Structure 1
Amino acid sequence: MSWSGQPPDLKKYLKKRLNVKLNANCLVVGTLRGFDQFMNLVIDNTVEVNGNEKNEIGMVVIRGNSVMTIEALEPVARPQ
Protein backbone atom coordinates (compact mmCIF):
# COMPACT_ATOMS: atom_id res chain seq x y z
CA MET A 1 0.00 0.00 0.00
CA SER A 2 1.46 3.35 -1.03
CA TRP A 3 0.68 6.66 0.66
CA SER A 4 2.37 8.67 -2.13
CA GLY A 5 4.39 10.56 0.47
CA GLN A 6 1.37 12.51 1.73
CA PRO A 7 0.86 12.75 5.49
CA PRO A 8 -2.65 11.90 6.72
CA ASP A 9 -5.00 14.88 6.80
CA LEU A 10 -6.16 14.56 10.40
CA LYS A 11 -5.83 18.24 11.42
CA LYS A 12 -9.59 18.69 11.34
CA TYR A 13 -9.93 15.89 13.93
CA LEU A 14 -7.55 17.43 16.50
CA LYS A 15 -9.24 18.01 19.88
CA LYS A 16 -12.26 15.97 18.71
CA ARG A 17 -13.61 12.77 20.29
CA LEU A 18 -13.07 9.76 18.06
CA ASN A 19 -13.92 6.09 17.83
CA VAL A 20 -10.78 4.29 16.67
CA LYS A 21 -11.20 0.67 15.59
CA LEU A 22 -7.96 -1.29 15.77
CA ASN A 23 -7.00 -4.61 14.30
CA ALA A 24 -7.80 -7.60 16.55
CA ASN A 25 -11.34 -6.15 16.84
CA CYS A 26 -10.39 -3.64 19.54
CA LEU A 27 -12.23 -0.30 19.89
CA VAL A 28 -11.00 2.77 21.76
CA VAL A 29 -12.70 6.12 22.26
CA GLY A 30 -10.84 9.31 23.12
CA THR A 31 -9.70 12.79 22.12
CA LEU A 32 -7.09 13.16 19.36
CA ARG A 33 -4.13 15.19 20.63
CA GLY A 34 -1.61 14.53 17.87
CA PHE A 35 -0.50 12.43 14.90
CA ASP A 36 2.43 12.02 12.55
CA GLN A 37 3.07 11.12 8.90
CA PHE A 38 2.79 7.40 9.72
CA MET A 39 -0.69 7.94 11.22
CA ASN A 40 0.58 7.15 14.71
CA LEU A 41 -2.03 8.74 16.98
CA VAL A 42 -1.86 10.30 20.43
CA ILE A 43 -5.25 9.83 22.09
CA ASP A 44 -6.16 11.38 25.47
CA ASN A 45 -8.90 10.39 27.92
CA THR A 46 -8.93 7.00 26.21
CA VAL A 47 -11.52 4.35 27.03
CA GLU A 48 -11.13 0.80 25.70
CA VAL A 49 -14.56 -0.61 24.83
CA ASN A 50 -15.04 -4.37 24.86
CA GLY A 51 -18.73 -5.23 24.57
CA ASN A 52 -20.36 -3.78 27.70
CA GLU A 53 -17.01 -3.45 29.50
CA LYS A 54 -15.22 -0.10 29.53
CA ASN A 55 -11.65 0.33 30.72
CA GLU A 56 -10.26 3.86 31.17
CA ILE A 57 -6.62 3.86 30.10
CA GLY A 58 -5.74 7.59 29.93
CA MET A 59 -3.34 8.90 27.27
CA VAL A 60 -2.07 6.40 24.71
CA VAL A 61 -0.02 6.30 21.53
CA ILE A 62 -1.52 4.06 18.86
CA ARG A 63 0.74 2.82 16.12
CA GLY A 64 -0.60 3.78 12.69
CA ASN A 65 -0.48 0.31 11.20
CA SER A 66 -2.91 -0.88 13.91
CA VAL A 67 -5.65 1.56 12.88
CA MET A 68 -8.52 0.12 10.85
CA THR A 69 -11.04 3.00 10.96
CA ILE A 70 -11.46 6.40 12.58
CA GLU A 71 -14.91 7.86 13.26
CA ALA A 72 -15.55 11.38 14.56
CA LEU A 73 -18.03 11.57 17.44
CA GLU A 74 -18.30 15.37 17.16
CA PRO A 75 -19.01 17.65 14.20
CA VAL A 76 -15.92 18.35 12.11
CA ALA A 77 -15.39 21.53 10.08
CA ARG A 78 -15.45 20.97 6.33
CA PRO A 79 -12.35 22.12 4.40
CA GLN A 80 -12.90 25.32 2.42
Structure 2
Amino acid sequence: MRVRPSLSALLGLACTFAFGSPVNACDLALALAVDISGSVDEREFEIQMRGLAEGLRDPEVSEALVRNRAAVMLVQWTGTAR
Protein backbone atom coordinates (compact mmCIF):
# COMPACT_ATOMS: atom_id res chain seq x y z
CA MET A 1 0.00 0.00 0.00
CA ARG A 2 2.85 2.41 0.56
CA VAL A 3 3.79 2.23 -3.12
CA ARG A 4 0.42 3.49 -4.38
CA PRO A 5 0.41 6.79 -2.46
CA SER A 6 4.00 7.40 -3.51
CA LEU A 7 3.19 6.59 -7.13
CA SER A 8 0.08 8.79 -7.00
CA ALA A 9 2.08 11.65 -5.54
CA LEU A 10 4.74 11.24 -8.19
CA LEU A 11 2.18 11.20 -11.00
CA GLY A 12 0.46 14.26 -9.55
CA LEU A 13 3.75 16.11 -9.36
CA ALA A 14 4.64 15.09 -12.92
CA CYS A 15 1.28 16.35 -14.19
CA THR A 16 1.79 19.64 -12.39
CA PHE A 17 5.08 20.21 -14.17
CA ALA A 18 3.87 18.86 -17.50
CA PHE A 19 0.61 20.80 -17.69
CA GLY A 20 1.28 23.77 -15.41
CA SER A 21 1.63 27.23 -16.87
CA PRO A 22 5.14 28.63 -17.21
CA VAL A 23 6.37 30.84 -14.41
CA ASN A 24 6.68 34.49 -15.33
CA ALA A 25 9.09 36.84 -13.63
CA CYS A 26 7.73 39.71 -11.60
CA ASP A 27 9.22 43.09 -10.83
CA LEU A 28 7.49 43.43 -7.46
CA ALA A 29 6.56 40.78 -4.90
CA LEU A 30 3.99 41.85 -2.32
CA ALA A 31 3.38 39.61 0.69
CA LEU A 32 0.32 40.45 2.78
CA ALA A 33 0.36 38.83 6.23
CA VAL A 34 -2.84 38.54 8.26
CA ASP A 35 -3.09 37.51 11.90
CA ILE A 36 -6.09 35.23 12.42
CA SER A 37 -5.05 33.95 15.83
CA GLY A 38 -7.33 33.74 18.84
CA SER A 39 -6.70 37.41 19.63
CA VAL A 40 -8.57 38.36 16.44
CA ASP A 41 -12.34 37.99 16.60
CA GLU A 42 -14.65 37.50 13.61
CA ARG A 43 -15.40 41.23 13.32
CA GLU A 44 -11.70 42.15 13.28
CA PHE A 45 -11.01 39.45 10.69
CA GLU A 46 -13.75 40.83 8.44
CA ILE A 47 -12.34 44.35 8.83
CA GLN A 48 -8.88 43.09 7.82
CA MET A 49 -10.17 41.20 4.78
CA ARG A 50 -12.48 44.02 3.68
CA GLY A 51 -9.65 46.54 3.99
CA LEU A 52 -7.28 44.41 1.94
CA ALA A 53 -9.93 43.78 -0.72
CA GLU A 54 -10.83 47.46 -0.98
CA GLY A 55 -7.18 48.42 -1.16
CA LEU A 56 -6.45 45.95 -3.95
CA ARG A 57 -9.55 47.06 -5.86
CA ASP A 58 -8.52 50.71 -5.75
CA PRO A 59 -7.82 51.75 -9.37
CA GLU A 60 -4.47 53.36 -8.54
CA VAL A 61 -3.31 50.32 -6.59
CA SER A 62 -4.50 47.74 -9.12
CA GLU A 63 -3.01 49.70 -12.02
CA ALA A 64 0.30 50.01 -10.16
CA LEU A 65 0.33 46.27 -9.46
CA VAL A 66 -0.25 45.48 -13.13
CA ARG A 67 2.18 48.13 -14.37
CA ASN A 68 4.91 46.85 -12.05
CA ARG A 69 4.21 43.20 -12.86
CA ALA A 70 3.50 42.46 -9.23
CA ALA A 71 3.03 39.05 -7.68
CA VAL A 72 0.75 39.21 -4.65
CA MET A 73 0.32 36.58 -1.96
CA LEU A 74 -1.72 36.49 1.22
CA VAL A 75 -0.49 34.56 4.24
CA GLN A 76 -2.70 33.92 7.25
CA TRP A 77 -1.26 32.67 10.50
CA THR A 78 -2.64 31.42 13.77
CA GLY A 79 -1.60 29.42 16.78
CA THR A 80 -2.10 25.72 17.35
CA ALA A 81 -5.34 26.25 19.30
CA ARG A 82 -7.25 27.54 16.31
Q: Which bracket does the TM-score occupy, shorter chain normalised?
A: under 0.3
TM-score, normalisation: structure 1: 0.22
Which one scores higher on RCO, CA 8 angstroms, separation ≥ 6? 2
TM-score, normalisation: structure 2: 0.22
Higher strand share: 1
> Which is higher, the Rg of structure 1 or of structure 2?
2
